[in-house]
Amino acid sequence: MAFSANILYQNKTLIPLDFQVLKLRNPKLFINSPSLSPQLQSKKRILASASTTNVASDFQVQKNNPASIKNWEDFARNVSGEWDGHGADFTSEGKPIELPESVVPEAFREWEVQVFDWQTQCPTLANSEERILAYKLIKLLPTVGCEADAATRYTIDERNIGGTDNQVSGFAYHPSGCYVALWPLEDHGSYRLLELEYCLVDPRNRESRVRIIQVVRADNTVSSLQNIRVFCEQWYGPFRNGEQLGGCSLRDSAFASTEALKISEVVGEWEGPVAVTRFLGAQTDIFQELVADKPQKSVRDQQGLILLPKQLWCSLKKGDSGEICGEVGWLLDHGLSITSKCFVSKDGKLKEIAIANETAVSEKK
């Protein structure tokens, strides 16, 4: 029997696509923390409108507003804050991986309850003046019921992008708060491990996002997906370095053992606005802004698709020239999705990243 480690209530209220929303935050609530880079400064968060027009125009506005400085400032505001939720690991086939028995409460073991989800915190802070971003992925030990409010930290994984502590080999960002990062993990000589991290923000509700991480084993001839990590997160306020735990006030619940996305919702012809960046061979700047490109059309078949819970999917394929082609997607509603593609060369360098708001062609007819 699969069961959540906490008893939580899920907020199932959706924001209508044609309803204008503007949520303001009190900038006095922001707290600076010395534990992250002292260069990072906390700023007020800006949330976008929820109209269908603005969902698409997110990726079109940059043609008329090429000021990269302002776009980074917008990204820094939208990505920073306390992102709490749940995370789970999946096999390369999309099957959830059970948590280690050593971390599962004795009561669950006695009841033969399977636990797949971590409750997580992801305090994130980006410097609006310099291109530096840092976050912590905090996993909390599973608890029974609302003991979650007193949960104990199990692991803390600190990640740094930019600055002297930089850990990525490439990073692409969009003012909405979406980003894609390439994390080199281990080089074993004959092969290397990479992480492709995709962060997708719901364009209808900027307080909701997913992060999908593909762990890839790559060498000069073969690339394979080792496993997948998924984090479903909600924005709970300004950056506080993880000091305030959401506990039983979380607006979402554990998801790893819930039903996976149906293949019929994904396959078919899709089109919509896309934001793209390309990494040139001689380029040394790891930061690239995703800027509007011509609208794209794509036909998605079931070959290689890995279906996940929470209306998510991903795939990893080999391109014609041997590059790694990773893709993730989030079905926001029937016929409406946000997707991201990442192309990595055979030697482990980023070539191109794209994020698109897609609509199923059949839905337009």
pLDDT, one tens digit per residue, over 198-207 is 999 999 999 9
Could you give the 3-state DSSP secondary structure of residue 248?
A: helix
The strand order across the sheet containing 81-91 reads: 153-161, 132-140, 118-127, 81-91, 223-235, 208-218, 192-201, 179-187, 170-173, 287-289
Nearby residues of 164 by Cβ (< 8 Å), 6 or more positions away? none
- Specify the CATH number for the domain of residue 218: 2.40.128.20
Domain range for 225 is 27-258
The whole-angstrom separation of Cα 125 and Cα 133 is: 6
- Supply 311's token pair: 């209306």
Q: Per DSSP, which regions of the chain are E strands? A: 81-91, 118-127, 132-140, 153-161, 170-173, 179-187, 192-201, 208-218, 223-235, 268-278, 287-289, 291-300, 306-308, 312-318, 324-333, 336-344, 350-360
pLDDT of residue 68: 75
pLDDT of residue 364: 63
Query: Which of the 8 DSSP states describes residue 82?
Result: E
pLDDT of residue 273: 97
pLDDT of residue 58: 43
pLDDT of residue 248: 60
pLDDT of residue 115: 95
Q: Domain total for the chain?
A: 1
| 151 is a domain residue | yes
- Supply 163's token pair: 């600055």
pLDDT of residue 10: 31
pLDDT digits (tens, 9 = 90+) for 34-70: 345 444 433 334 333 333 333 333 443 333 344 578 8
pLDDT of residue 18: 29
CB 53 within 8 A of CB 19: no
| 330 is a domain residue | no
| 191 is a domain residue | yes
CB 13 within 8 A of CB 44: no
With a cut of 50, list the residues of the chain below it in pLDDT: 3-35, 37-66, 148
pLDDT of residue 33: 39
Reported pTM: 0.83
pLDDT of residue 2: 52
| 363 is a domain residue | no
pLDDT digits (tens, 9 = 90+) for 131-147: 999 999 999 999 886 65
pLDDT of residue 54: 38
The whole-angstrom separation of Cα 211 and Cα 199 is: 4
| 288 is a domain residue | no
| 109 is a domain residue | yes
The whole-angstrom separation of Cα 114 and Cα 104 is: 9
